[in-house]
Amino acid sequence: MPKDIAAWIHISENNAVTVFTGKVEMGQNIRTSLAQQVAEELHVPVASIAMIMGDTDRTPWDAGTFGSRTTPTMGPQLRAAAASARDLLVATAAQQWKVSPTALSAADGRITDSKSRQSITYGQLMHGQQLVKLIESAPPLTPVVDWKIAGTPVPKVDGRAFVTGRHKYSADLSHPDMLFGKVLRPSGFKATLTSLDTKAAESIPGVIVVHDGDFVAVAAADSATAERALRAIKAKWSVPPQPSNADLFSYLKDHVTASRRDEPHIVGSVDRALSDADVKLSQTYTVQYIAHAPLEPRAALAEWQGDKLTVYTGTQRPFAVRDELADAFHISSDKVRVLVPDTGSAYGGKHTGDAAVEAARIAKAAGKPVKLVWTREEEFTWAYFRPAGVIDIRSGAHKDGTIVAWEFHNYNSGPAGIGTPYNVANQKIEFHPVDSPLRQGSYRSLAAAANHFARESHMDELAHAVAMDSLDFRLKNLDDDRLRAVFQAAADKFGWRNRKPSATRGFGIAGGFEKGGYVATCAEVEIVGGQNVHIRRVVEAFDCGPVINPNGLRNQIMGGIVQGIGGALFEAIRFSNGRILNPYFSEYRVPRFADAPEIEIILMDRRDKPPMGAGETPLIGLAPAVGNAIFSATGIRLRSLPMVPNGLPSKRA
């Protein structure tokens, strides 16, 4: 990351502050929370700050907006830059006025000498010149306990643009000479084009057909004509036989990639401990592929000017997409500019530049700017999925509730959150990468959702096996203070001790630690008509260190819980032979109003700890808490996500 202040912050003569960051806004509210942190350290009003985000020509290089990294890494970076800038401004004024810097104060965008009553705005002082200074190694940061702007519920800085429809997402942009592009999609994955007839499409006035290997696309001056041209193309594809949901889990276990195997985490001897254990359990958990289904589908507007390419697109990784475009067109990265308008969400699903590459390829052939917007069907089919996976657990415990053995194998879904926070003397934990039959990639919380589902469901099973309360069993095996604290806080607010399960009401608890955040989730479910599961109430306690913006944070946590309901209960990609069988919202069910429970959120606000991200971890406790609640009502243990795509199974596990 650049060390000079000027790369991050600029103050204009009229005292407007511009902040540059390669991070992007896609609903997680960092445009506001980062501005708050700069305002706090620079001593300016939030309203005076404009954030330039995700523009590869103007913002410092950034790996991308993922992994809950903005708050722990970009926040401190901007705070340090802003505090250093304030130091520079004070020093400059002191020099100008020939007084000691300690006699001056900086507030509300101006520097004041209380003795002489002289006062000057930052802008007047610097005349719009660059802030030439390196960021200090120990900048005078405001202690968290003294925060006045950070830590408060500042409203979303551009909220009005969203409620008026004025905000321009990638798909809303236009260019006077622009054409609309459409890509001809193969009839299945891994398809090769065997015959192509584009005559009818080419005969439509104004239509351009692009054919490059297996890539076939059209462009026209309006979207209706582009769609008509696409329908007029006759193509035949050859699609190789591929697996389906029916053989998915055996396929995953049979296709472990030998090339890359992480070393297993081994402590003690699981086998020896199991031979002494009073209670032994061995269970398998599975998770299906699911789709991010961001409401804004992938879109891009690409324009070539000579050999320079400019692309507007919604992506989490503008600099990686810049490099992807440079690679695809064999130009150097400095010939490519990627700009990311605030995006209609991503959830880990917009790491790649697929639409950007397609739009740029068509624009290159057409010699005009091209806008390309994926359809919902394309979004469900040609993006990538949250990995499916199989998780095998073997465990053992003593009658008194001490866990003595823990063996955990994850096939394909990923290693995030694979470890156990509980004290177990004998452990073997291993991730087994697999050649996935479907294109897969990151998804909000990565594999932590799957691994927590397996672990926290299994913990509930173990608690029942040793006849202990599920919360007491966890606390007995847990030393981590912060995790204990969220469990206690959630349980207290939920009324865990007073719960009264019945055949139609169930209560469950789960929790964990991931990406620096601690979460505990309690769920109450109602079994309706003996078949349907309704989540009635969720209480979640979350500790991500000090809270930067409680309003935005609550929104993120609530969203994580609601999104988690989909993967927990009903979301699954159905596929067969290289085709997605349910690529529509009518066939791929996502959580709706009726699915949202009453949600209570407890923010721990640990001001003595460093701030951590909150976009992902609040999601991971939901599925196991709900699964455990279903068991408490029905005695049915559900070990596959989604748990009730077609209602409760009738047979008891």
For position 84 contacting another protein by CB under 8 A, the verdict is no
DSSP 567: I
Q: How far is the CB of 349 from another protein (least distance, A)?
A: 9
Please identify, using beta-carbon distances, which residue of 66 and 285 lies nearer to another protein.
66
Residues sharing a CB contact under 8 Å with residue 580, sequence separation 6 or more, in sequence order: 380, 381, 573, 574
For position 556 contacting another protein by CB under 8 A, the verdict is yes
CA distance 628 to 635: 9
The angle formed by the CA atoms of residues 520, 524 and 527, to the nearest 5 degrees, is: 145
Pick from 100, 164, 305, 650: which binds another protein (CB under 8 A)?
A: 164
CA distance 542 to 614: 9
CA distance 572 to 378: 17
The angle formed by the CA atoms of residues 171, 172 and 175, to the nearest 5 degrees, is: 100
- The residue assigned the tokens 């996502």 is 590
Q: How far is the CB of 304 from another protein (least distance, A)?
A: 13
Instruction: Write out the binding residues for another protein, residues 267-306 only, by CB under 8 A.
Output: 293-297
For position 561 contacting another protein by CB under 8 A, the verdict is yes
Pick from 69, 455, 458, 464: which binds another protein (CB under 8 A)?
A: 69
The angle formed by the CA atoms of residues 362, 296 and 312, to the nearest 5 degrees, is: 45
Q: How far is the CB of 344 from another protein (least distance, A)?
A: 3
Please identify, using beta-carbon distances, which residue of 69 and 409 lies nearer to another protein.
69
For position 434 contacting another protein by CB under 8 A, the verdict is yes
The alpha carbon of 651 is separated from its chain's Cα centroid by a whole number of angstroms, namely 36
Q: How far is the CB of 88 from another protein (least distance, A)?
A: 24
CA distance 406 to 179: 58
Query: By the 8 A CB rule, do 499 and 523 touch?
Result: no
Instruction: Write out the binding residues for another protein, residues 329-368 only, by CB under 8 A.
Output: 329-330, 342-345, 347-348, 351-352, 354, 357-358, 361, 364
Please identify, using beta-carbon distances, which residue of 179 and 463 lies nearer to another protein.
179
Burial 367-378 (b: 16+ CB within 10 A, else e): ebbbbbbbbeeb
For position 445 contacting another protein by CB under 8 A, the verdict is no
Pick from 12, 124, 223, 640: which binds another protein (CB under 8 A)?
A: 223
The residues that bridge with 179 in the sheet, in sequence order, are 370
Please identify, using beta-carbon distances, which residue of 48 and 352 lies nearer to another protein.
352
Instruction: Write out the binding residues for another protein, residues 568-597 only, by CB under 8 A.
Output: 584-586, 590-596
For position 412 contacting another protein by CB under 8 A, the verdict is yes
Please identify, using beta-carbon distances, which residue of 64 and 512 lies nearer to another protein.
64
CA distance 28 to 618: 13
Count other Cβ atoms within 10 Å, centred on residue 234.
11
CA distance 290 to 574: 9
Amino acid at 548: I
For position 560 contacting another protein by CB under 8 A, the verdict is yes
Instruction: Write out the binding residues for another protein, residues 245-264 only, by CB under 8 A.
Output: 257, 259-260
Pick from 168, 199, 231, 534: which binds another protein (CB under 8 A)?
A: 168
For position 160 contacting another protein by CB under 8 A, the verdict is yes
For position 440 contacting another protein by CB under 8 A, the verdict is yes
Pick from 58, 148, 166, 231: which binds another protein (CB under 8 A)?
A: 166
How far, CA to CA in Å, does 484 sit from each of 115, 174, 511, 543?
52, 52, 9, 11
x/- mask, another protein, residues 28-67, rule CB under 8 A, reads xx-------------------------------x-xx-xx
For position 414 contacting another protein by CB under 8 A, the verdict is yes
CA distance 132 to 118: 24
For position 387 contacting another protein by CB under 8 A, the verdict is yes
Q: How far is the CB of 87 from another protein (least distance, A)?
A: 25
